[in-house]
């Protein structure tokens, strides 16, 4: 059973939005694979010990923050998940762990996606995943090609295929997340979902096609940094669904994507998290 390096980060006094923003910004780029809430803070999981230790060096000097390193086994994660995670329904889509699926649920749920909880995001218990699922169901998906950037558990790619997409492609830089995503594709007995270990910067050339709908449930920092890369993957008139950032980051994210040639079409919020729908424009700002 694999163990995952983790950092438990707790505030010694209540943190305001600026302090939280600084913490999350410093964690960007250190291969975090999942974040879970703990009392007065968060626990962050990493793909390697080196990534965890590099992240620790970036945050250990923040005021009013206590940092503790640990190793958490996947078995412990699974046990906690079975005790706390049940089915979640977003519109027509129900996301459920294997142990909660019943024949009645299969009969009553128009689109049931079975997800084995692991260290990747994507059980639909996080508001950002629910926001992406909500926007996805507003899209004309019949015959569409869908790309899920940072696919994690594969939940959004699988849901897109079940909602009518002709093909869904998921990319991620974390091989462990992709292992979980492949398990979930098999659990759902779904075809037409392709998974690749790819960085966004190399995806355009590697995948060799453009997509009608692109999903990116990433951090605000990553979205702003990589906003210019999505055009190379977008078909004419393509829609882009983004989430993973909070309300205080909204203006910065909007600015980055407008500068990169995207027009905002809508915004939704849940628990201070934001989900946006954007559309590719013909000309880009010079």
**226-277 pLDDT, tens digit each:** 999 999 999 999 999 999 998 999 999 999 999 999 999 999 999 889 999 9
For position 145, which CATH number holds? 3.40.50.150
For residues 61 and 127, state if they share a domain. Answer: no
Write out the residue range of the structural domain in which residue 67 sits: 3-73
For residues 253 and 168, state if they share a domain. Answer: yes
Of 282 and 232, more confident: 232
For residues 69 and 127, state if they share a domain. Answer: no
Last residue of a domain, one of 48, 73, 98: 73
For residues 143 and 274, state if they share a domain. Answer: yes
For residues 61 and 133, state if they share a domain. Answer: no
Answer whether 0.85 is exceeded by the pTM: no
For residues 265 and 150, state if they share a domain. Answer: yes
For residues 137 and 265, state if they share a domain. Answer: yes
Under the banding of pLDDT at 50, 70 and 90, the label for residue 87 is confident
In this structure, the dihedral spanned by the alpha carbons of residues 265, 89, 28 and 146, taken in order and rounded to 10 degrees, is: -60
Last residue of a domain, one of 49, 73, 97: 73
Per-residue pLDDT of 23-36, as tens digits, reads 888 887 776 777 77
For residues 265 and 132, state if they share a domain. Answer: yes
Residue with tokens 């999505």: 230
Q: State yes or no: pLDDT of 282 exceeds 90.
A: no
Helix/strand/coil for 256:
helix
Of 30 and 98, more confident: 98
For residues 273 and 153, state if they share a domain. Answer: yes
Q: Could you give the percent of the chain with pLDDT greater than 90?
A: 55
Q: State yes or no: pLDDT of 148 exceeds 80.
A: yes
Strands (E), 80-166: 88-90, 93-96, 111-114, 145-149
Q: State yes or no: pLDDT of 122 exceeds 80.
A: no
Q: Establish if 104 belongs to a structural domain.
A: no
Q: What pLDDT is attached to residue 85? A: 72
Into how many domains does the chain fold?
2
Q: State yes or no: pLDDT of 184 exceeds 80.
A: yes
Q: Establish if 97 belongs to a structural domain.
A: no
Q: Establish if 38 belongs to a structural domain.
A: yes
For residues 249 and 169, state if they share a domain. Answer: yes
Tell the burial category of 229 from Cβ atoms under 10 Å away from its Cβ (0-12, 13-18, 19+). middle
Beta-strand pair 88-90/145-149: unpaired
Per-residue pLDDT of 186-222, as tens digits, reads 999 999 999 999 999 888 878 989 999 999 999 888 8
Under the banding of pLDDT at 50, 70 and 90, the label for residue 92 is very high
Q: Establish if 128 belongs to a structural domain.
A: yes
Q: Establish if 112 belongs to a structural domain.
A: no
Last residue of a domain, one of 34, 49, 73: 73
Q: Establish if 107 belongs to a structural domain.
A: no
For position 40, which CATH number holds? 3.30.70.260
């Amino acid at each position: 059973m694999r163990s995952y390096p983790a950092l438990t980060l707790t505030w010694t006094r209540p943190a305001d939005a600026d302090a939280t923003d600084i913490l999350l910004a410093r964690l960007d780029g250190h291969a975090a694979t999942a974040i879970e809430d703990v009392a007065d803070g968060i626990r962050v999981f990493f793909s390697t010990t080196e990534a965890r230790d590099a992240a620790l060096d970036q945050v250990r000097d923040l005021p009013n923050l206590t940092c503790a390193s640990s190793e958490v086994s996947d078995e412990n994660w699974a046990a906690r998940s079975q005790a706390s995670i049940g089915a979640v329904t977003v519109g027509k889509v129900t996301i459920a762990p294997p142990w909660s699926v019943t024949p009645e649920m299969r009969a009553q749920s128009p689109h049931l996606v079975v997800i084995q909880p692991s260290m990747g995001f994507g059980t639909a218990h996080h508001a950002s995943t629910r926001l992406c699922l909500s926007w996805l169901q507003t899209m004309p998906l019949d015959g569409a090609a869908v790309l899920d950037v940072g696919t994690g558990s594969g939940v959004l790619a699988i849901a897109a295929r079940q909602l009518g997409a002709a093909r869904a492609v998921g990319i991620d830089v974390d091989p462990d997340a992709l292992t979980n995503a492949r398990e979930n594709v098999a659990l759902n007995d779904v075809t037409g979902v392709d998974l690749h270990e790819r960085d966004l910067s190399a995806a355009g050339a590697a995948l060799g096609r453009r997509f009608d709908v692109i999903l990116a449930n990433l951090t605000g920092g990553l979205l702003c940094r990589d906003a210019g890369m999505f055009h190379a993957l977008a078909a004419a008139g393509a829609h882009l669904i983004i989430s993973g950032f909070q309300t205080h980051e909204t203006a910065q994210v909007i600015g980055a994507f407008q500068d990169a040639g995207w027009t905002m079409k809508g915004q939704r919020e849940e628990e201070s998290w934001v989900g946006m729908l954007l559309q590719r424009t013909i000309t880009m700002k010079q």
